[in-house]
Amino acid sequence: MTRIKLGMVGGGNDAFIGGVHRIASRIDDRYELVAGALSSTPEKAQASGQALGIARVYDDFKQMAIREARLKNGIEAVSIVTPNHMHYAAAREFLKRGIHVICDKPLTSTLADARKLAIAAERSNALFVLTHNYTGYPMVRQAREMVARGEIGKIRVVQVEYPQDWLTQQEDFKQAKWRTDPARSGAGGSTGDIGTHAHNLARFVTGLEVESLAADLDAFVPGRQVDDNGHIMLRFQGGAKGMLWCSQVAPGNENALRIRVFGEAGGLEWAQEDPNYLWHTPFGEPKRVITRNGSGAGDAATRISRVPPGHPEGYLEGFANIYSEAADAIVAHREGIEPAAEVMYPTIKDGLKGVEFIDACVRSSARNAAWVKV
Amino acid sequence: MTRIKLGMVGGGNDAFIGGVHRIASRIDDRYELVAGALSSTPEKAQASGQALGIARVYDDFKQMAIREARLKNGIEAVSIVTPNHMHYAAAREFLKRGIHVICDKPLTSTLADARKLAIAAERSNALFVLTHNYTGYPMVRQAREMVARGEIGKIRVVQVEYPQDWLTQQEDFKQAKWRTDPARSGAGGSTGDIGTHAHNLARFVTGLEVESLAADLDAFVPGRQVDDNGHIMLRFQGGAKGMLWCSQVAPGNENALRIRVFGEAGGLEWAQEDPNYLWHTPFGEPKRVITRNGSGAGDAATRISRVPPGHPEGYLEGFANIYSEAADAIVAHREGIEPAAEVMYPTIKDGLKGVEFIDACVRSSARNAAWVKV
Amino acid sequence: MTRIKLGMVGGGNDAFIGGVHRIASRIDDRYELVAGALSSTPEKAQASGQALGIARVYDDFKQMAIREARLKNGIEAVSIVTPNHMHYAAAREFLKRGIHVICDKPLTSTLADARKLAIAAERSNALFVLTHNYTGYPMVRQAREMVARGEIGKIRVVQVEYPQDWLTQQEDFKQAKWRTDPARSGAGGSTGDIGTHAHNLARFVTGLEVESLAADLDAFVPGRQVDDNGHIMLRFQGGAKGMLWCSQVAPGNENALRIRVFGEAGGLEWAQEDPNYLWHTPFGEPKRVITRNGSGAGDAATRISRVPPGHPEGYLEGFANIYSEAADAIVAHREGIEPAAEVMYPTIKDGLKGVEFIDACVRSSARNAAWVKV
Amino acid sequence: MTRIKLGMVGGGNDAFIGGVHRIASRIDDRYELVAGALSSTPEKAQASGQALGIARVYDDFKQMAIREARLKNGIEAVSIVTPNHMHYAAAREFLKRGIHVICDKPLTSTLADARKLAIAAERSNALFVLTHNYTGYPMVRQAREMVARGEIGKIRVVQVEYPQDWLTQQEDFKQAKWRTDPARSGAGGSTGDIGTHAHNLARFVTGLEVESLAADLDAFVPGRQVDDNGHIMLRFQGGAKGMLWCSQVAPGNENALRIRVFGEAGGLEWAQEDPNYLWHTPFGEPKRVITRNGSGAGDAATRISRVPPGHPEGYLEGFANIYSEAADAIVAHREGIEPAAEVMYPTIKDGLKGVEFIDACVRSSARNAAWVKV
User: What is d(CA B94, CA B69) in angstroms, rounded to the nearest whole number?
Assistant: 8
User: What is d(CA B297, CA B291) in angstroms, rounded to the nearest whole number?
Assistant: 6
Residues of D in contact with A306 (CB under 8 A): 19-20, 23, 316
pLDDT tens-place string over residues C334-364? 999 999 999 999 999 999 999 999 999 999 9
Residues of C in contact with B16 (CB under 8 A): 307-308
CATH code of C137-297+353-373, in short, is 3.30.360.10
Q: What fold is seen in the domain B137-306+353-373?
A: Dihydrodipicolinate Reductase; domain 2 (3.30.360)
Exposure of D321 by Cβ count < 10 A (0-12 exposed, 13-18 middle, 19+ buried)?
buried
Cβ of B289 under 8 Å from any chain C Cβ? Answer: no
The reply to whether residue A307 touches residue D315, judged by beta carbons under 8 angstroms, is yes
Q: Provide the percentage of residues in chain C whose pLDDT is more than 90.
A: 93
Task: Please report which helix (H) or strand (E) contains residue B143, including its range.
Answer: helix B138-148
- Conformational region of residue A152, where left means phi above 0, alpha means psi within -120 to 50, and beta covers everything else: alpha
pLDDT at D99 over 90: yes
pLDDT tens-place string over residues C185-210? 999 999 999 999 999 999 999 999 99
Global pTM? 0.97
For residue D311, give how far its alpha carbon lies from the nearest alpha carbon of chain C (Å): 25
Query: Which pLDDT band holds residue B13 (cuts at 50, 70, 90)?
Result: confident
End-to-end CA distance of chain C: 43
The reply to whether residue B27 touches residue C29, judged by beta carbons under 8 angstroms, is no
The reply to whether residue A274 touches residue D275, judged by beta carbons under 8 angstroms, is no
Question: What are the structural domain ranges in chain A?
Answer: 4-126, 136-306+353-373
- Residue C361 has a pLDDT of 98
- Residue D193 has a pLDDT of 96
pLDDT tens-place string over residues B281-334? 999 999 999 999 999 999 999 999 999 999 999 999 999 999 999 999 999 999
Beta-strand ranges (E) seen in A202-294 are: 210-218, 229-236, 241-247, 258-263, 266-271, 277-282, 287-291
Mean of pLDDT values over B233-253: 98
Of B3, B20, B256, the CB nearest to C307: B20
- Residue B1 has a pLDDT of 64
φ and ψ at D161, to 5 degrees? -150, 150
pLDDT at A28 over 70: yes
User: What is d(CA C75, CA C94) in angstroms, rounded to the nearest whole number?
Assistant: 10
pLDDT tens-place string over residues C36-57? 999 988 899 999 999 999 999 9
Cβ of B364 under 8 Å from any chain A Cβ? Answer: no
**Residues 257-286 in B contacting D (C-alpha not used; CB under 8 Å):** 280, 284-286
What's the DSSP call for residue B309? T
Of 3.30.70.1450, 3.30.360.10, 3.40.50.1370, 3.30.70.100, the CATH number of D137-304+353-373 is 3.30.360.10
Helix ranges, C28-185 (H): 42-51, 61-70, 87-95, 111-123, 138-148, 174-179, 182-185
The reply to whether residue C295 touches residue A285, judged by beta carbons under 8 angstroms, is yes
Residues of D in contact with C262 (CB under 8 A): 247, 249-252
Q: Provide the percentage of residues in chain B whose pLDDT is more than 70.
A: 100
CATH class of A4-126: alpha beta
Q: Provide the percentage of residues in chain A whose pLDDT is more than 70.
A: 100
pLDDT, mean over chain D: 96
User: What is d(CA C216, CA C227) in angstroms, rounded to the nearest whole number?
Assistant: 10
Cβ of B230 under 8 Å from any chain A Cβ? Answer: no
The reply to whether residue D266 touches residue C260, judged by beta carbons under 8 angstroms, is no
Residues of C in contact with A280 (CB under 8 A): 286
CA atoms within 13 A on the CB side of A16: 14
pLDDT at C286 over 90: yes
- Residue C137 has a pLDDT of 98
User: What is d(CA B326, CA B332) in angstroms, rounded to the nearest whole number?
Assistant: 10
Cβ of C251 under 8 Å from any chain B Cβ? Answer: no
For residue D273, give how far its alpha carbon lies from the nearest alpha carbon of chain A (Å): 6
For residue C265, give how far its alpha carbon lies from the nearest alpha carbon of chain D (Å): 8
Amino acid at position D21, single letter: H
User: What is d(CA B116, CA B351) in angstroms, rounded to the nearest whole number?
Assistant: 12
pLDDT at D258 over 70: yes
Residue D112 CB coordination number (10 Å)? 12
The reply to whether residue C288 touches residue A284, judged by beta carbons under 8 angstroms, is no
β-pairing, D266-271 with D277-282? antiparallel
User: What is d(CA A163, CA A248) in angstroms, rounded to the nearest whole number?
Assistant: 6
User: What is d(CA B29, CA C29) in angstroms, rounded to the nearest whole number?
Assistant: 11
Mean of pLDDT values over D255-273: 98
Of C280, C285, C289, the CB nearest to A295: C285
Q: Which CATH superfamily is domain A136-306+353-373 in?
A: Dihydrodipicolinate Reductase; domain 2 (3.30.360.10)
- Residue D287 has a pLDDT of 98
Contact D162, D132 (CB under 8 A): no
Query: Which pLDDT band holds residue D15 (cuts at 50, 70, 90)?
Result: confident
The reply to whether residue A263 touches residue B251, judged by beta carbons under 8 angstroms, is yes
- Conformational region of residue A284, where left means phi above 0, alpha means psi within -120 to 50, and beta covers everything else: left
Query: Which pLDDT band holds residue B172 (cuts at 50, 70, 90)?
Result: confident
SS percent in chain A: helix, strand, coil, step 5:
40, 25, 40
For residue B97, give how far its alpha carbon lies from the nearest alpha carbon of chain D (Å): 49
pLDDT at D28 over 90: yes
pLDDT, mean over chain C: 96
pLDDT at D77 over 70: yes
pLDDT at C1 over 70: no
**Residues 126-185 in C contacting B (C-alpha not used; CB under 8 Å):** 164, 166
Q: Which residue has the higher pLDDT, B90 or C179?
A: B90
User: What is d(CA D50, CA C169) in angstroms, rounded to the nearest whole number?
Assistant: 63
Contact D263, D238 (CB under 8 A): no
pLDDT at A69 over 80: yes
pLDDT tens-place string over residues D145-177? 999 999 999 999 999 999 999 999 998 888 888
The reply to whether residue D309 touches residue A254, judged by beta carbons under 8 angstroms, is yes
Cβ of A288 under 8 Å from any chain C Cβ? Answer: yes
Of B284, B287, B296, the CB nearest to D285: B296
Closest CA to C106 of C79, C78, C87: C87
The reply to whether residue D289 touches residue B285, judged by beta carbons under 8 angstroms, is no
pLDDT, mean over chain B: 96
- Residue C280 has a pLDDT of 98
Determine which of B266-270, B288-292, C16-20, C143-147 has the lowest per-residue pLDDT on average.
Answer: C16-20
Q: Provide the percentage of residues in chain D whose pLDDT is more than 90.
A: 93
Of C284, C287, C294, the CB nearest to A288: C287
- Residue B171 has a pLDDT of 84
Query: Which pLDDT band holds residue D1 (cuts at 50, 70, 90)?
Result: low
Contact B58, B35 (CB under 8 A): yes
Query: Which pLDDT band holds residue A127 (cuts at 50, 70, 90)?
Result: very high
User: What is d(CA D289, CA D278) in angstroms, rounded to the nearest whole number?
Assistant: 6
- Residue C47 has a pLDDT of 92
Q: Provide the percentage of residues in chain D whose pLDDT is more than 70.
A: 100
C-alpha distances in Å from residue D313, one per residue of A274, A310, A316, D241, D270? 10, 13, 7, 32, 15
Residues of A in contact with B161 (CB under 8 A): 159
pLDDT, mean over chain A: 96
Determine which of B12-16, B92-96, C283-287 has the lowest per-residue pLDDT on average.
Answer: B12-16
Complex confidence, ipTM: 0.96
